[in-house]
Amino acid sequence: MIRIRVDDVLLVNPNTGSMKISLRNRSYFDYFQEADKLFAQYNIPCILAILAEGIDVYPEWVEYIKKNKHRFII
């Protein structure tokens, strides 16, 4: 079985240079949703490393994860 690990979900301050560049045109959440659609298409479960500091900051992520919790290992 293949499992993909996604680190730093709900990251509040993406402060690395490469993250700042990648976030210019789209949000980190947009990238996450795009990747998750691909994982769902091929039925690949995803392991999430969730940062609790972002729970209040990203309510749309929290709702998305709750809605799709059957797909994630947290």
Tens-digit pLDDT profile for residues 37-69: 988 998 888 888 887 888 888 899 899 999 999
**Domain containing residue 11:** 4-73
Look up the pTM and report it. 0.71
> Which stretches of the chain are assigned E, i.e. beta strand?
4-9, 46-50, 72-73
In one-letter notation, the amino acid at residue 53 is: E
pLDDT band of residue 19 (cuts 50, 70, 90) is low
Residue 39 confidence (pLDDT): 86
The residue ranking higher by pLDDT, 74 or 11, is 74
Among the listed residues 30, 28, 40, the one whose alpha carbon sits nearest the alpha carbon of residue 68: 40
* Residue labelled with tokens 């659609």: 37
Among the listed residues 45, 51, 1, 44, the one whose alpha carbon sits nearest the alpha carbon of residue 28: 51
* Number of separate domains in the chain: 1
d(CA 54, CA 12): 6
